[in-house]
Each structure stands twice: as structure tokens, then as C-alpha cells.
Amino acid sequence: MAFSLSLAPTIWRQHRLEWGQQTYVMGIVNVTPDSFSGDGLRREELAPEEVVQRALVQAQAFVAEGARMIDVGGESTRPGFPAVSVQEEMQRVLPVIRALRASLPADVIISVDTYKAEVAEKALEAGADMLNDIWGLHKDSRMAQVAHAHGVPIVLMANMRETVKREIVSDVTRFLARSIDMALAAGVPWEHLVIDPGIGFGTTTHENLALLHRLGELRTLGRPILLGTSRKSIIGQILGGVPPEERVEGTAATVALGIAQGADIVRVHDVREMMRVVKMSDAVVRGSYTLPS
């Protein structure tokens, strides 16, 4: 069962997230040509306005299926892929964020998946509500200053790609503790911090399994947990090499088990299917359900 930690709600702008009562679903919108999962919307043959329209249709479908959050990313996080310039990343994500903010319901939270402060600043000005930093402030500490200046929450993810590892759960805990300290020092409120163990970011299959098995231990950090396992390579490996589009059932298992360990947000590609998993898991773990009359 999930660790019963009482966390104060996260409140900003017109948004309010109540922790512990339900699991929130974050739908992934990749505005990239090279996403590992094969869902990148950016293609050479598509005009920029077509990319924006496809992103909008996808996000609207996610919201209709139950997603409370939409995470927009403009740079592939696949190992070995070159970094995208600040200018290119902004050209990819800003038109999409503007279109989403103009079209989606006001209570839908738009997150921008970036570790660059310049991109984060412009994304928030374009209508984003939340930051998602895959380097947990360790690449660009100015991300914390941007979050503080705009009064928005920030997801701090552990990233082991440039870290000497000893014992993975302890390593991730220390990484995230440092990220939290950096954010607080920059003035980001405690209630605006969310943590992510960083499944697949510089971690082996064995380490990923250990993080999932012991996810609840991250509750000692006192912040809500975002879990992102959707379609990741660990699932393909465990299931015998299946491609990303065939990893839905494996993702479902990690989502259900993650919620049982205390995950508060799940970041997924397959919103309709994972929303069903979340509802069933919340009914068992949190006692949160509504029966038809």
C-alpha cells in the first residue's frame, strides 16, 4: 500500500493539486523527430503549422481521456543524441504551448519538459504552467530562479548519466536532496517541488527494477513523486525485446505498482489505457472511486 504521508496541496495560479487523494495523469506530447517511443510529432515533411495542429489534436484527446496535465517536450532524451540548441527548442515548443493554452480548458496544466532556463522562461510566458527538468537543476541551476520568478511548480528528476553510482536508491535520494536544496535556496516554495526517480536515465535494468521496487523510500524526501516509465527500454527488455508500441501492458504494470508505492503523478504516452489502470489502482490503494448510480 502507498505510504500515508500527508502533504499540503500545491496551489498556484488557477491550479490546485491535492496529494494523496488521487493519482494525476500527465500525457506526453513530443514535438521531436527522434523520440525513443516513436511518438515524435515533428517530421521533415510536415509544415510547422501541421506539427502544431497534430500536437493540439493529441493533447485534446489526452484531456478527453482524463489527463490533467500535458507535458510538451522539444528535445529527445535518448542517450547519445545531440543536444538541441535553445533557439531550435523554442521554435519547436513555443507555438505548441501557445496553441494548447488557447484551446485547452483552463484547469489543464501545461508542463514544459526542458532543462534550459531560457526555454523555460519563454515557455512560461507562452502559457505553460509548470516546469519539468530532467536534470533536476544540475545542468542549469537558473531553472530554479525561473520557477521562483513565475511562481510555478517544478519537477526535479534524478539523472545518473554523469554520476558515479554506488547504491542506486541512495544515489538517487542524494541527487534529489541536492536538487531540493538548490530549489529552496533560489526561493522556490517547498509546496512547489515534485520529485522523479529518473527511470532509465543513466540506470541499468537491474537499477531501474530496484528503483521501482523501492520507490516508496523516496517518500522520505517529503515531496510528491512523478513516475515516468511509459514505453521505456526496461519494459522492452523484460518482455523479450518488444518495440515501444507493444509496451502498453508492461507500462500498466509499472504504473499500478508505482501507485502502490506512493506515486502521485504518472507520465504516459497511452492516456486512455493508463487512466483505467490509475482508476483501478486508486480504488485499491487510496480507496478513491465512484460507483455508477
Which sequence positions are flagged as catalytic? 232, 267
CA atoms within 13 A on the CB side of 9: 8
Please count the other Cβ atoms lying within 10 Å of the Cβ belonging to residue 142. 15
Residue type, 48: P
Strand pairing of 10-12 and 15-17?
Answer: antiparallel
The closest alpha carbon to 114, from 130, 98, 95, belongs to: 130
**Pairwise CA distance, residues 243 & 235, whole Å:** 9
| DSSP H stretches of helix in the chain | 48-65, 86-103, 117-126, 142-150, 168-185, 205-213, 233-238, 248-260, 271-285
